[in-house]
Amino acid sequence: MPKMVFIDPDGTRHEVEAPLGLSVLEIAHRNAIDIEGVCEGSLACSTCHVIVEPSDYDRLKPVSEDEEDMLDLAFGLTKTSRLGCQIVMTEDLDGLTVRLPSGTNNVMG
């Protein structure tokens, strides 16, 4: 089974199993990783914002216009920022590493 790594804001690493077809947000929730996901993956917020390691970023599918619009609302936006609900695990993403930002902007609450 593919694996991925979440890195907390304090640097703690969590290597977890990453079932194919699940989003990074779903994988985080299955493993008690602290990602909000207020809109439950409906691409209506930015609370599942993750920062993809630069070495992994080019392995992802391109950012959609809708995701780009939501990313504009994310706290601590970087060049490799993505929404966890929009990254779906594939064999090609085995070993994906993402950092969790130090905060979120919840515009829904």
Closest CA to 49 of 90, 1, 106: 106
pLDDT tens for residues 1-14?
999 999 999 999 99
pLDDT tens for residues 45-96?
999 999 999 999 999 999 999 999 999 988 889 999 999 999 999 999 999 9
Q: Which residue has the tokens 């194919």?
A: 20
Alpha-carbon distance of 99 to 109, in angstroms, equals 24
The fold of 3-99 is Ubiquitin-like (UB roll) (3.10.20)
pLDDT tens for residues 92-107?
999 999 999 986 655 5
Enumerate the domain spans of the chain: 3-99
Alpha-carbon distance of 70 to 66, in angstroms, equals 7
23 DSSP 8-state letter = B
